[in-house]
């Protein structure tokens, strides 16, 4: 029996708010037209997604005819009163400047602290891994957000790097490849692979 488990992480497509460089956490925004043509030839045994529509719609484009299990814990960080605002909107705000300087110990008004965010994502990850192990799945895909992917890579990638050192772009995913025992014990994966996404008609 193959002891390898593949958990793939994909970020949602580019949204209108992403183009504006606005903070987009628990609010939502339509996918841009170019995001509606992204493709992958990869398939997995099971699919999970954040319950926000930009992820659900991306899952429909990447993996049509699938029915992903929606997990609220996979949402992006809640930016509270800064949702929809840009750097230019906020640069004069003292609390915002403190947060930029130390985002692990400051947080947006009415938003989440990094501790609250990471604890929530850990809970969502546990739901996924428990089901993967219980059902003896050998592969699954997770459609989620940039912050969630950075956090999971900082925790589980084979090469340890800080949260901000990871890239989570809209045009590529990652496959984290675990052996079953490592996944069960919450250890780092043994291999990390990039999964490029292509535009319809381009590659």
Q: What percent of the chain has pLDDT over 90?
A: 92
Quick count: other Cβ atoms within 10 Å of Cβ 104? 11
Whether residue 69 contacts residue 47, with contact meaning beta carbons closer than 8 Å, is answered with yes
Q: What percent of the chain has pLDDT over 70?
A: 98
Q: How do the domains of the chain map onto residue ranges?
A: 4-77+113-199
- pLDDT band with cut points at 50, 70 and 90 for residue 34: confident
What is the average per-residue pLDDT within 187-196? 97
pLDDT tens digits, 123-177: 999 999 999 999 999 999 999 999 999 999 999 999 999 999 999 999 999 999 9
Q: Which residues of 124-158 are buried (b: 16+ CB within 10 A; e: fewer)?
A: bbeebbeebeeeebbbbbbbbbbbbbbbbbbbbbe
The CATH architecture one would assign to domain 4-77+113-199 is 3-Layer(aba) Sandwich (3.40)
Please enumerate in sequence order all residues whose Cβ is within 8 A of that of 83, keeping only pairs 6 or more positions apart, or say none: 23, 24, 25, 26, 27, 111
For all residues of the chain together, what is the average pLDDT? 94
């Amino acid at each position: 029996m193959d002891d390898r488990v593949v958990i793939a992480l994909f970020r949602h497509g580019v949204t209108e708010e992403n183009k504006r460089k606005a903070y987009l956490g628990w609010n939502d925004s339509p996918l841009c037209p170019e995001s509606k043509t992204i493709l992958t030839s990869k398939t997995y045994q099971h699919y999970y997604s954040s319950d926000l529509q930009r992820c659900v719609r991306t899952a429909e484009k990447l993996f049509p005819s699938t029915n992903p299990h929606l997990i609220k814990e996979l949402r992006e960080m809640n930016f509270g009163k800064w949702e929809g605002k840009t750097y230019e909107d906020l640069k004069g705000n003292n609390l915002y400047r403190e947060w930029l300087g130390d985002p692990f110990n400051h947080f947006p008004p009415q938003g989440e602290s990094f501790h609250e965010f990471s604890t929530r994502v850990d809970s969502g990850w546990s739901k996924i891994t428990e089901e993967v192990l219980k059902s003896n799945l050998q592969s699954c895909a997770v459609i989620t957000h940039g912050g969630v992917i950075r956090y999971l890579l900082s925790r589980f990638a084979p090469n340890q790097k800080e949260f901000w050192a990871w890239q989570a772009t809209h045009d590529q995913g990652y496959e984290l490849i675990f052996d079953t025992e490592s996944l069960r014990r919450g250890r780092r994966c043994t291999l990390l692979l990039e999964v490029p996404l292509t535009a319809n008609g381009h590659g």
